[in-house]
Structure 1
Amino acid sequence: MNIFLVFCLLGAVLLLIGWGMGRPERIYEFPFLTGVISFSFILPQVPGLAVDSFLPEAAFARTAVFMMMCLFMCWWGWGAKAKPLGFFRIDFDEGRLLIVAALLSIAGAYFYYELSRLPGDLTIAVQMTGIPVVYIFFSRLLSYGLAIAALCLARRFSWWACLILAFDLVFYLDRIVITGKRAEAIELVMIFALAWWFYRGLTIPRSLIIVALFLGTLLMNSMGEYRSITKANSAPVWDEIKRIDVAGNLSKVLRDGGDEMRNAVLRINNTATSMEFDYGKFHWNRLVFSYVPAQLVGAEVKQSFMLPMPPVARDYDPITGTTETGMTDAFESFWYLGAFKFFLLAYLVRRIWVTANRGEFAAQFTYVLSIIPSIHAISHQTDWVLMVWVHMLMFAAPALAFAIIPSRRRSRYGMNPSSLAAGG
């Protein structure tokens, strides 16, 4: 039965990828990218777990069925009729946008620099706390500056935009290379790819996407070893990196199963056994954890904002640095009905996508920085994109307000050379 479910799960993922191959622009859309991360990150972990006799009976089957439900919801929610979001209909002055991009980039670069000065054992392949978390929190401003500059450059060439991007890439690439951050690497590619799609109608060749998919799957399970090397040396040591057995690491995961999916199987099984659910309190607690600073209000006050959660099984002991997948928190919230979290997420992201394709700069900015956290709902937690949206409201929205043109000075689809809104 478990082997049959493995093939069903493979079929579901391939259907999402095949759907994305149907039209060029679909490679930037949520269902296809969900299929990509499922193929490269989730699927290699599944075969070994399907034959693991130490897992509770029926636990694997329950998780596999629920994951297929979640993947279906990702496709169904995206396919629902979605109208543009009216609050994104804002005109921006391009010159001021570049000023905002420069200021955000400088601010974010400072925290990137401070983060890079910390020892590797505090920032690489560990659960960060304290000062590193603060630096990570504010370094996100650099991503905002980079996204704004990339969108402006895609619309119209500007030396100022090029200078901002060159400055940002020094810090961005340093973090990707030193800490082996997959999410930042993919996000960087998507920022530029989407900017050129929105303003030039250009897409990455689908043949190149397929090559990248298989190459990414091959490398995915060696990132832990890469990070161990950079952590020990606070920098890449290429002689050691070249000796990483990439094919052997993938083969081991296929044979033994992956830690993330094992975590998911155990947590989902515990919830199905106890029938104790958090009914969405997980998201509130994550907001409190991320945005209520214990250094200012005190640990006791911060804890008082937390809502009580069902207990975790006593014998559950995940490996530090591993995730539990978004299927876990979805199931723990509403049982099998938790799959509707993915429907809601897909629908909301779809509306942003539709608005962005109408030429609204604010929606384009939001989409390029939301799509990667959105697909991490499958591999990590369903709250990632919510955290990103809250962060945008706190920092990006006030900064962008400086560049707003108070009223539309042109017809809806006319183009003022100094403004960005309804594309041209």
Structure 2
Amino acid sequence: LSRAFYASRWLSQTCALPIGKPRLLRKSRDGFNAKVEALMGAPLSDSAIDKGDPELPLDFSRAPKLKLIYLSSLEFKADFSGRIIERLIRHHAALGTKVRILVTDVLERDKDDTMLHRLAAEFPNVGLQEYRWRADRGAPIDEQISQLHKVHHVKMLATLADDPRRSRAIIGGRNIHDGFLFHQPIDLSRYPDLEQYGKTDGFSLNYYSNWSDFDVEFADPATVETLAAHLSTVWLRDADTNLARPFSIPVRSAGGRPSGTARHFISVPYEDGHALEDYFVELVDAAQHHIQIVNPYLNLTPKLAQAVDRALARGVRIDIVGRIDLKGDIGGKFLTALNKLFVEKYGDRINIREFKAPDVVLHSKIMMIDERLVAISSVNLNNRSFFHDSENGMMVLDPAFYTRMKPIYDDYVAHSNPVATNVTIPWAYRLLFDEDWVRQAF
């Protein structure tokens, strides 16, 4: 496991960092307020959030003086959450802070686009990149189609302050979207420039789900600076190829390796030879006793499925807390069918549990191996994360950090039920997902 953690690969990774004691952000409001506090110096009160007023007065008296803000997210919605974050960024932009925002173009609606473009137009120190992958001219039909669904899935807020003690970096699974903060869509009809979500299910960008997710916040100045610098390689990537410069150079160490270390990774699978898939395969192959997973999407790539089969064959116990029924997510019926295919294949060999809140969609992505290694990331266990989408996460090799994470995992287990193995999958979905190129799109 240690060898896989330290190994050199094409995957973009930092050198090993001391893990320290990062803040674990399990609750929705803690996750949102960590971003608010990084930008404003103080969280919003529960009463302020309950009122749901995106134009509420904001107190910047304790705000840090920032030199740089990096915000990377799948989505940055024009809703309560997005408007609050936009106002906080606007404050710093007016003071001259350099701001860099990365989002996914294909998921933006008109109001999202207008809000972000207005911010960038008003402040020359605000840069905005709306990611859209372009297939080569004459590319096969599956590549042409993937232009519509390849997304930027790297999640990070990094703020660098004049006082390094006030710098912060937050990574995990949450996007800038009210579904990560409120149980139901709030009434924003008074604000015509903001989204009023519908209660849709299927392929719609007006979707609303209430997600349960997990983030981690780093405050060590050297770690925050390293994470921001690593993200900058994505911002400064080659425009034609999406390739980013290598961030670390592996060397052999003459001395012993320190305990309590972490490495941040960034994956661009269609440009780095599916290096993240190879990394996860190596980690599963290195497992000796126990793999514990929290992840809602269970559509393994063939190589990862083979690694799981090998682990089970050598007696490794695998426990998964998932969300089999993904109603409410984009393409929820398709995703549910894929999860059921996973249950059908592995239900008698893997302890699979269903996150049981009926109207909350599990969105956390955690993997823990042999009580030593913990991965907190944006990575879903599906073909999308390993073939299509850019991803990032923190890999931690430290038994003490596992001990801190175990109660988080136990809480997910406590809020889940065992999954029955006798699943029903409509024949139409079975036929559809018999096609490899279709499975690879999900």
TM range (shorter): under 0.3
Superposition TM-score, scaled by structure 2 size: 0.24
Superposition TM-score, scaled by structure 1 size: 0.24
Q: Which has the higher contact order (CA 8 A, sep 6+)?
A: 1
Give the structure with the higher percent helix: 1
Give the structure with the higher percent strand: 2
